[in-house]
Amino acid sequence: MINIQKNVLIISICLLFFSCNSGVKEFNKQGMQYLQKGLSAEAIIKFNSAIKLNSEWLGAYFNRAIAYSNLKKYNEAIQDLNYVINNCPDNAEAFFNRAIIYENIGVNSQAIKDYSMTIKLRPDFIMAYHYRGILRFKINDLVGALSDYNKALDLGLNVSMTIAKAKEFGLNSSALYFNRGVVYQKLGDIKSSIRDYSKSLEIDPSNARAYYNMGIAYIQYGNMKYAIEQLRIASKLGFNKADTILSNIHR
């Protein structure tokens, strides 16, 4: 399983929460600039200033939640997202970011609820399916994970994105195919797992773990020739577990 680093998303949510106060807009703009530079503590100061000018403006709360999360101040981040959700219950991005935070602190049941609410509000939210699939896999809900990966891949058929850009957003079809391959392998559908590992490698041939997993799948499938080929590639790419398997095979 590829465990994608799940960070909250910096979204220009301020555009959705209109404010006529130019001072609020300026403080928020400065805060967003700090966020983009990775200066979350400085960003919080600016968002606090925006809230002092207009305590009901949701954009500053949303953006401050991102800054708090970056600093691992998860309780504060959740409080801000709760405020946004209570006042704007149809905001899918707020539910999505809260889901990530809940997952980060190990509250998996609430994280799944929030990913599900994100999907209810935005049925085309590919990342929400992918992330919920990863979490479902973690809690051994293999059928649920498979369903989510299938949906994410179906939705992604019409999305064109470079691998680098996709990885930046935690969304790439290489990882999706790989993760679905792991689920198929766990479920005993070795042929489908090999197919998905192959698709993953077509997109990103540098994925040593995919070669390794495919090698193991070929062993399970009874094709030692192809298994050894894949494991040797994984070894050349630096995946040390492949060396151990190869040593055992050649004994």
Q: So what's the pLDDT on residue 4?
A: 52
What pLDDT is recorded for position 22?
Answer: 80
Domains of the chain: total = 2
In a domain, 124, yes or no: no
Of 55, 90, 105, the one marking the end of a domain is 105
CATH number of the domain enclosing 78? 1.25.40.10
Q: What is the pLDDT of residue 8?
A: 63
Mean pLDDT by 10 residues, the chain (251 residues): 56 48 87 93 96 91 95 96 96 95 96 98 92 95 97 81 57 84 96 96 93 96 94 94 87 58
Residue 34 lies in a domain: yes
Q: Is residue 64 domain-resident?
A: yes
56 is in which domain, residue-wise?
Answer: 1-105
Residue 19: predicted pLDDT = 52
pLDDT at 163: 60
Residue that is last in its domain, among 57, 74, 105: 105
Query: Is residue 30, in this structure, part of any structural domain at all?
Result: yes
Residue 129 lies in a domain: no
| Within a domain: 48 | yes
Asked if the structure places residue 168 within a domain, the reply is no
**Domain annotation covers residue 215:** yes
| Encoded tokens for 171 | 């969304």
Helix H, strand E, coil C: the string for the chain is CCCCCCCCCCCCHHHCCCCCCHHHHHHHHHHHHHHHCCCHHHHHHHHHHHHHHCCCCHHHHHHHHHHHHHCCCHHHHHHHHHHHHHHCCCCHHHHHHHHHHHHHCCCHHHHHHHHHHHHHHCCCCHHHHHHHHHHHHHCCCHHHHHHHHHHHHHHHCCCCCCHHHHHHCCCCHHHHHHHHHHHHHHHCCHHHHHHHHHHHHHHCCCCHHHHHHHHHHHHHHCCHHHHHHHHHHHHHCCCHHHHHHHHHHCC
Q: Which of 90, 105, 120 is the last residue before a domain boundary?
A: 105
Please answer whether residues 84 and 56 qualify as being in contact, where contact means their C-beta atoms are separated by less than 8 angstroms: no
Whole-model pTM?
0.86
